[in-house]
């Protein structure tokens, strides 16, 4: 029902704004990362899930070389820019589609002009990757309407480049890859170095619950980039003893045990999180393959402790939500998801415990912080796709 209503919402709004039905409606999902926090920009392993909250983009090509964009959720804000030259960033939501245009032009590909209107059910700033969902929506639509025929993997790389080099956020490839290549009912084990990926079924008795702390990630941008620098420093220092390593992906736990004493304490902590998290992701895939939700939950919980203590990207609000979730019978495990410093936690829960989990999270969080978290029950969804196409 939600998909139908979102389709109708953007289709009707497009008609009201532009005077004709959209030629294409694209659905591009948000994501939750079950495990693999901050490993993606270290060439590591991650296990995200595309979720059933998405950006819905209604779009039609136009003869003029320009894009006219209408953001339903931004009070009807609009942006218009030429598509045959690189637009100047303005520091708002329109930077993301402009970044995608820039990335196409960088590849020598000329996108068509468009009228476009979008709305989203992905919370902004909550760690569910609303930016990657928006990027993939526009990339997929432009690719489809312009006849480029790029693969999903290539579109993900294009969008990562757009966010890195145009928007200026040094994100890894995980968010874009899961938005492009997610599979309903499954989590994805992604090797961010090779872009090889495999899907593992999430057992049907499990639900993925996301709780939004209501704390927006004001420190995430600067601290995210700082963590990336610290990881690069760890590699430079370890290379004196491990000359063949290219990134922390190449460092094993036993390597850190042998050479970790030569690193400054903070740098060792950052490296230890990444190295042990890669091991946890592999074990998580094995747990899902075996349908072992108890082990999967233990690994998720261990991942949170590592993010909290070694990577230091958690905050009291997130720790409180994680602890509260783990108090509920039927919760297998919980952790922060996203960059940290605010946003959401994710909990792997037996579907029969969802109602009690949501109630307990709200009660505990209200008592501690006088705030009520938004709680979303999500299901693993497909990656970006055409939701509907006009029939001539």
CB-CB neighbours of 74 under 10 Å = 16
User: Is-catalytic flag, 255?
Assistant: no
Q: To 5 degrees, how large is the angle CA 151–CA 156–CA 162?
A: 125
Q: How far apart are CA 56 and CA 238, in angstroms?
A: 45
**Residue 226 CB contacts under 8 Å (≥ 6 apart), including other chains:** none
| Contacts by residues 263-268 (CB-CB < 8 Å, ≥ 24 positions apart) | 263/234, 263/237, 263/238, 266/230, 267/230, 267/233, 267/234, 267/237, 268/234
Closest by Cα among 252, 214, 249, 208 to 232: 249
Residues 95, 167 contacting (CB under 8 angstroms): yes
Q: To 5 degrees, how large is the angle CA 256–CA 259–CA 262?
A: 120
**Residue 112 CB contacts under 8 Å (≥ 6 apart), including other chains:** 61, 62, 83, 142, 145, 146
Residue from 40, 95, 143, 175 carrying the catalytic annotation = 175
Closest by Cα among 124, 82, 47, 25 to 380: 47
Residues 200, 285 contacting (CB under 8 angstroms): yes
The per-residue b/e assignment along 19-58, b for 16 or more CB within 10 angstroms, e otherwise, is: eeebbbbbbbbbbbbbbbbbbbbbbbbbbbbbbbbbbbbb
Q: To 5 degrees, how large is the angle CA 318–CA 128–CA 30?
A: 160
Assigned token pair, 190:
């992604």
Element (H, E) at 187: strand 186-191
Residues 70, 60 contacting (CB under 8 angstroms): no
DSSP state of 207: E
Closest by Cα among 177, 231, 233 to 31: 177
Catalytic residues: 175
């Amino acid at each position: 029902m939600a998909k139908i209503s979102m389709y109708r919402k953007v289709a009707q709004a497009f008609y009201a704004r532009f005077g004709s039905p959209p030629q294409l409606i694209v659905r591009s999902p948000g994501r939750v990362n079950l495990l693999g926090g901050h490993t993606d920009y270290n060439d590591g392993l991650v296990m995200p899930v595309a979720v059933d909250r998405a950006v819905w983009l209604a779009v039609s090509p136009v003869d003029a070389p320009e894009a006219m964009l209408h953001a339903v959720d931004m009070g009807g804000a609009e942006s218009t820019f030429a598509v045959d030259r690189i637009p100047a960033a303005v520091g708002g939501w329109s930077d993301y589609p402009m970044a995608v245009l820039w990335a196409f032009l960088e590849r020598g590909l000329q996108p068509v002009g468009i009228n476009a209107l979008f709305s989203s059910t992905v919370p902004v700033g909550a760690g569910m990757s609303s930016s990657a969902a928006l990027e993939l929506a526009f990339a997929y639509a432009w690719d489809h309407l312009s006849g480029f025929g790029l693969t999903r993997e290539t579109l993900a790389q294009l969008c990562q480049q757009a966010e890195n080099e145009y928007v200026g956020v040094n994100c890894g490839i995980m968010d874009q890859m899961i938005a492009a290549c997610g599979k309903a009912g499954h989590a994805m084990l992604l090797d961010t170095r090779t872009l090889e990926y495999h899907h593992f079924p999430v057992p049907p008795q499990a639900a993925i619950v996301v709780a939004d702390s209501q704390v927006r990630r004001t420190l995430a941008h600067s601290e995210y980039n700082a963590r990336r620098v610290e990881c690069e420093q760890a590699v430079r220092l370890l290379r004196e003893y491990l000359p063949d390593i290219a990134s922390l992906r190449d460092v094993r736990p036993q390597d850190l045990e042998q050479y970790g004493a030569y690193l400054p304490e903070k740098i060792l902590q950052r490296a230890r999180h990444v190295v042990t998290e890669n091991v946890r992701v592999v074990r998580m895939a094995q747990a899902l393959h075996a349908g072992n939700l108890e082990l999967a939950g233990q690994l998720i919980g261990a991942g949170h402790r590592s993010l909290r203590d070694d990577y230091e990207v958690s905050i009291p609000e997130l720790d409180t939500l994680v602890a509260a979730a783990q108090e509920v019978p039927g919760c297998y495990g919980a952790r922060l998801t996203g960059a940290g410093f605010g946003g959401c936690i994710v909990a792997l829960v037996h579907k029969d415990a969802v109602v009690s989990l949501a109630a307990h999270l709200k009660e505990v969080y209200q008592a501690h912080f006088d705030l009520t978290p938004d709680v979303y029950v999500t299901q693993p969804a497909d990656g970006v796709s055409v939701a509907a196409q006009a029939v001539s």
